């Protein structure tokens, strides 16, 4: 057969992208071309993870933190935060609420808080796993091996630890080491995998000092790490942090700084879906904070398949201020739950059933 030289070969939606192509897409501004990117990401999403949108209840169990991250409002030096740590009874009551709302997972997140003792949390994990049908995801920062082992043993299913940026120098600046221990989140991610956790990571978009090339490399790394979950969201400056105040800054040459915009976030969500077709990818609260009305839906139609409604009791939620004006401060109770379900159905999708684990090799 004579080769057809006039048309380009059809690209399978699952065909992946090189780092150079990712970089080109990050620079793309033409709306018609971007429509193509959204459509491609949506097709990959549909083929690999289907139309279900998994709901994970996010429970912020403590805002104590020993770290001094330049971006995060919970950093140890922020003395304006009123610190809290939930009790076992409070955590169990929230887990019961997650079950009542039909969520498949509870995600327990905190600052890096060693007041959360290994056995205390192991006992809670064991209780949730025996008393409820929930999957348990942890996001407790850079805990030592023994803790990660004990919690896995107790039944925890997944662990989230964003590597934040793959640029070593930028990472060291925004995320100073603790207790003379060099922070190596990639080593911890590998360890989590060995222990049998589903592993999640991700980055912030538009951190001061983050270049387009770095972000393209980050996205490329998501694929090499074969992540089960990838969370990406815009960096939002917090006024009580060095980065938010502009005290620590790594100024980049004109045109190299990634903007922390809604559009850039959609590009990263879409590219992430294309490079990690099977991953569970949330449409994040930080994205909804930039666009309260449509942010979550647009994330879902451009590659995402997970929403993490906040189930933290309101009097604690206001104090878990990693960045200001989180949209979830308005989102609460059964009315919000129905609203989320309606929003999911309004875009032709359906709320997920079961725990929503990573599905391998569906196509």
Task: Pick one of 25, 71, 84, 171: the residue that binds ligand SAH (CB under 6 A).
Answer: 71
232 binds ligand SAH, rule: CB under 6 A: no
Shortest distance (Å) from residue 150 CB to ligand SAH: 18
Q: Where are the alpha helices (DSSP H) in the chain?
A: 19-27, 31-49, 88-100, 118-131, 145-153, 168-174, 185-194, 212-224, 242-245, 262-275, 285-290, 295-301, 314-317, 333-346
CA distance 270 to 47: 14
Task: Pick one of 13, 70, 141, 277: the residue that binds ligand SAH (CB under 6 A).
Answer: 141
Site size with ligand SAH, rule: CB under 6 A: 18
Task: Pick one of 42, 97, 112, 331: the residue that binds ligand SAH (CB under 6 A).
Answer: 112
Of 13 and 233, nearer to ligand SAH (C-beta) is 233
Shortest distance (Å) from residue 242 CB to ligand SAH: 11
The DSSP bridge partners found for residue 108 are: 59, 138
CA distance 34 to 340: 26
Structure tokens at 314: 């309101």
Instruction: Give residue 333's region: left, alpha or beta (phi > 0; psi -120 to 50).
Output: left
Shortest distance (Å) from residue 2 CB to ligand SAH: 53
Phi and psi at residue 65, to the nearest 5° = -155, 135
Shortest distance (Å) from residue 141 CB to ligand SAH: 4
Of 40 and 296, nearer to ligand SAH (C-beta) is 296
**Binding segment for ligand SAH among 6-14, 123-131, 233-241, 309-317 (CB under 6 A)?**
233-241
Shortest distance (Å) from residue 109 CB to ligand SAH: 5
Structure tokens at 61: 């169990």
At CA 157, angle to CA 335 and CA 69, rounded to 5? 80
- Residues found near ligand SAH in the complex (CB under 6 A): 71-72, 109, 111-112, 139, 141, 161-162, 164, 204, 233, 235-236, 238, 286, 322-323
């Amino acid at each position: 057969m004579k080769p057809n030289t006039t048309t380009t070969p059809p690209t399978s939606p699952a065909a992946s992208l090189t780092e150079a192509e990712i970089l080109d897409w990050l620079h793309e501004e033409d709306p018609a071309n971007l429509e193509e990117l959204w459509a491609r990401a949506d097709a990959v999403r549909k083929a690999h993870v289907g139309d279900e949108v998994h709901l994970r209840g996010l429970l912020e169990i403590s805002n104590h933190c020993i770290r001094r991250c330049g971006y995060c409002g919970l950093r140890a030096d922020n003395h304006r935060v009123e610190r809290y740590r939930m009790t076992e009874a409070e955590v169990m009551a929230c887990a019961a609420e997650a079950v009542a709302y039909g969520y498949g997972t509870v995600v327990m997140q905190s600052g890096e808080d060693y007041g959360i003792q290994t056995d205390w949390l192991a006992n809670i994990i064991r209780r949730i796993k025996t008393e409820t049908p929930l999957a348990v995801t942890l996001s407790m920062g850079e805990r030592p091996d023994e803790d990660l082992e004990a919690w896995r043993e107790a039944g925890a299913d997944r662990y989230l630890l964003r590597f934040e940026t793959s640029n070593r120098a930028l990472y060291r600046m925004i995320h100073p080491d603790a207790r003379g221990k060099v922070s190596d989140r990639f080593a911890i991610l590998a360890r989590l995998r060995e222990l049998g956790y589903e592993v999640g990571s991700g980055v912030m978009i538009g951190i001061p000092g983050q270049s387009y090339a770095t972000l393209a490399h980050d996205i490329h790394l998501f694929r090499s790490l074969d992540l089960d979950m990838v969370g990406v969201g815009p960096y939002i400056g917090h006024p009580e942090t060095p980065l938010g105040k502009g005290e620590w800054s790594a100024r980049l040459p004109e045109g190299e700084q990634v903007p922390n915009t809604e559009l850039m976030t959609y590009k990263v969500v879409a590219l992430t879906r294309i490079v990690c077709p099977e991953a569970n990818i949330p449409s994040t609260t930080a994205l909804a904070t930039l666009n309260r009305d449509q942010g979550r839906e647009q994330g879902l139609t451009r590659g995402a398949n997970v929403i993490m409604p906040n189930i933290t009791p309101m009097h604690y939620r206001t104090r878990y201020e990693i960045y200001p004006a989180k949209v979830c401060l308005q989102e609460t109770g059964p009315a919000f739950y129905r609203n989320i379900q309606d929003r999911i159905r309004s875009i032709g999708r359906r709320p997920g059933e079961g725990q929503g684990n990573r599905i391998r090799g569906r196509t």
